């Protein structure tokens, strides 16, 4: 199944979004969300390695018009990597200001394309796309293996407090990717010139798969890190084991 993920935007979009990303990182830092910031930066680096190293260099599935591939992918990877991974981390920790962070991210994704269109008008557009047929099967396999591993764990784990909340994890994965996809679509950035059914197909498939395939691993990383460190990047007074941290997380979810 070949899902073409296409985006089209002006140079002003890149400039404005880069300023926003810097401001967003500074907000995370000065509000003492240091682990969230570190995880977000790692997410940007991971996106770049995957997008430029695998999608572009290894599979040749990336294509671009009117710009340099390296620099556009560097910006794109850190832009969406930082916002997505920060949003995921804040969701996993049930941040007390999650509503505010969510609105900040989503509102920017809505407003930035409007500002870009007002500035560039009918000017030159940068168009970048990737064809997923060469690797979507791998993403599907990774998704099912990741969740099946947690399902099997839950089936054999008698202590409910040490079971993974699968629907909660799945909902985070869908919500984050859907928020990204639908705002790009409504802003005229994603799936330009595709017919309605193609746009919906890209929206649904990407929302269900692309972020969700990594959620089980991301949650395990979150539990492992926060079992030793606080959000301010200081060591916990009393470190806990991985499963005890899972219990803490589950108890917080019930509150």
User: Where in the chain are the domains?
Assistant: 4-254
Q: Beta strand pairing status for 126-131 and 62-65? A: antiparallel
Per-residue pLDDT 10s for the chain (255 aa) are: 555 677 889 999 999 999 999 999 999 999 999 999 999 999 999 999 999 998 889 888 888 999 999 999 999 999 999 999 999 999 999 999 999 999 999 999 999 999 998 998 777 889 888 876 666 778 889 999 999 999 999 999 999 999 999 999 999 999 999 998 888 888 877 666 667 777 787 788 878 888 888 999 999 999 999 999 999 999 999 999 999 999 999 998 876
| SS3 per-residue string spanning 214-238 | HHHHHHHHHHHHHCCECCCCCECCC
Q: Give the predicted TM-score (pTM) of the model.
A: 0.92
Contacts of 174 (CB under 8 A, 6+ apart): 207, 208, 211, 212
The answer to whether the CB of 15 falls within 8 A of the CB of 69 is no
Alpha-carbon distance of 80 to 74, in angstroms, equals: 10
CA 200 to mean position of chain CA atoms: 19
């Amino acid at each position: 199944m070949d899902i073409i993920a296409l985006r089209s935007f002006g140079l002003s979009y890149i400039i404005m979004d880069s300023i926003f990303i810097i401001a967003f990182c500074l907000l995370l830092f000065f509000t003492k969300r240091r682990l969230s910031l570190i995880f977000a930066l790692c997410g940007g680096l991971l996106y770049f390695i995957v997008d430029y190293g695998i999608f572009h260099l290894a599979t040749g599935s990336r294509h671009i018009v009117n710009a340099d591939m390296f620099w556009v992918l560097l910006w794109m990877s850190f832009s969406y990597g930082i916002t997505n991974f920060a949003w995921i981390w804040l969701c996993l920790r049930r941040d007390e200001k999650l509503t505010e962070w969510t609105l900040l991210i989503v509102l920017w994704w809505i407003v930035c394309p409007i500002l870009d269109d007002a500035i560039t008008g009918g000017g030159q557009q940068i168009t970048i796309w990737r064809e997923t047929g060469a690797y979507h099967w791998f993403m599907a396999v990774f998704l099912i293996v990741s969740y099946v591993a947690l399902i099997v764990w839950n089936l054999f784990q008698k202590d409910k407090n040490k079971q993974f909340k699968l629907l909660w994890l799945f909902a985070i994965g869908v919500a984050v990717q859907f928020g990204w996809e639908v705002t790009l679509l409504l802003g005229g950035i994603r799936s330009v010139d595709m017919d309605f059914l193609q746009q919906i197909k890209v929206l649904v498939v990407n929302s269900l798969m692309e972020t969700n395939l990594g959620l089980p691993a991301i949650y395990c990383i979150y539990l492992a890190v926060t079992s030793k460190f606080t959000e301010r990047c200081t060591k916990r007074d009393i470190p806990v084991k991985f499963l005890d941290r899972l219990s803490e997380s589950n108890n917080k979810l019930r509150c």
